[in-house]
């Protein structure tokens, strides 16, 4: 039987209206939104379905919102008889969704934790001090070398290694600008500054990492129902005791997404189902390996279409 990985999106996949179709069509999804509202003490569901876009873009709101929609999609799939995944993985924030799906974290714990995670990451660096940019069409060795040269005493490093042709860099805004210019001179196809509120997954996030570590200490971790591939090392993990450390390190470490997909494929995965809003990860998986089959589930229609593959 073919091996299937469920993969869960991170920040950047949010859009007002997300999850409404799931809420309307699946009781299991509706319960997830109600649980999120209770756990957070405000109507996250209303923010997802019909809120102000500027509010949804705030990191402290975006992270619990994407987690909730992703888990709502996963619970709908489970209720509709989808098979359990062979592996799970998530991109940055999405790793929390993956851990809920794998039974490692309770959903209420996860949604409260990522709400705080988003707040800590937002507040770690004053607005305007940090920056991120997507580098297209340059290799990781060149990008690492240029970031080191462009830093000039500041921070500049790869933050998301998304595919062989897409790497996001992060750090002090001036250093990121210098790196973009240098990479274009060295032949990068594009260097696009990202509209983000903070420079995620670089050493400037250490204050957020230290605060989150204390919260992660307080959580209970169940043994994974299926193996998890983590962002920080792209390695397969089957032990609950390893999770807290991986989630802690993840805040300031690069997301090794391309390597994570390679790990899943090396372990026999042929089919990837992106569970949650958007198709960002499906696109990246196809960039990494064109022989994979990719599907996404974030509403009743594509859930029904995806179910037909089984």
Q: Catalytic positions, please?
A: 92, 201
User: What is the three-class DSSP state of 134?
Assistant: strand
Q: Which residues contact 135 (CB under 8 A, 6 or more apart)?
A: 143, 166, 167, 168, 169, 180, 183, 188, 190, 191
Strand partners, 296: 274
Angle between helices 300-307 and 59-79 (to 10 degrees): 40
CA-nearest of 43, 68, 94 to 280 is: 94
Positive or negative: CA dihedral 237, 104, 83, 22: negative
Strand partners, 171: 131, 156
**Spatial separation of the C-alpha atoms in residues 220 and 235, rounded to whole Å:** 22
Kindly report the length of the chain: 310
Beta carbons within 10 angstroms of residue 49's beta carbon: 17
Within the chain, strands assigned E span 3-8, 87-90, 130-136, 156-163, 166-172, 190-193, 228-229, 236-237, 269-275, 293-297
Task: Please give the distance of CA 167 from its chain centroid, rounded to a whole number.
Answer: 15
Q: Which residues contact 43 (CB under 8 A, 6 or more apart)?
A: 37
On whether the CB atoms of residues 82 and 33 are closer than 8 A, the answer is no
For the chain, what is the total number of helices (H) and then of strands (E)? 14, 10
């Amino acid at each position: 039987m073919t091996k299937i990985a469920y993969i869960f999106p991170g920040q950047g996949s949010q859009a007002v209206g997300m999850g409404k179709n799931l809420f309307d069509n699946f009781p299991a999804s509706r319960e997830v939104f109600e649980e999120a509202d209770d756990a957070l003490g405000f109507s996250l569901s209303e923010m997802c379905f019909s809120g102000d876009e500027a509010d949804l873009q705030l990191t402290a709101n975006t992270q619990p919102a994407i987690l909730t929609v992703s888990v709502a999609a996963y619970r709908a799939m489970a209720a509709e008889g989808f098979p359990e995944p062979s592996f799970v993985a998530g991109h940055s924030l999405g790793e929390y969704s993956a851990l809920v799906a794998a039974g490692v974290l309770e959903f209420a714990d996860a949604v409260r934790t990522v709400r705080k995670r988003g707040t800590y990451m937002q507040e770690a660096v004053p607005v305007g001090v940090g920056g991120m940019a997507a580098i297209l069409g340059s290799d990781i060795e060149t990008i690492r070398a240029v970031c080191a040269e462009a830093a000039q005493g500041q921070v500049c490093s790869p933050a998301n290694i998304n595919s062989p042709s897409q790497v996001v860099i992060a750090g002090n805004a001036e250093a990121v600008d210098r790196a973009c210019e240098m990479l274009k001179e060295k032949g990068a196809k594009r260097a696009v500054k990202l509209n983000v509120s903070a420079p995620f997954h670089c050493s400037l996030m250490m204050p957020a990492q230290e605060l989150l570590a204390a919260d992660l200490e307080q959580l209970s971790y169940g043994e994974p129902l299926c193996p998890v591939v983590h962002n920080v090392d792209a390695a397969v993990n089957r032990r609950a005791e390893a999770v807290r450390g991986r989630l802690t390190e993840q805040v300031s470490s690069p997301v090794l997404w391309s390597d994570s997909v390679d790990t899943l494929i090396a372990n026999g995965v042929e089919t990837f189902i992106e569970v949650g809003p958007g198709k960002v990860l499906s696109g990246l998986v196809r960039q990494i390996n064109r022989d994979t089959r990719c599907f996404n589930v974030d509403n009743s229609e594509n859930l029904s279409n995806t179910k037909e593959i089984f």
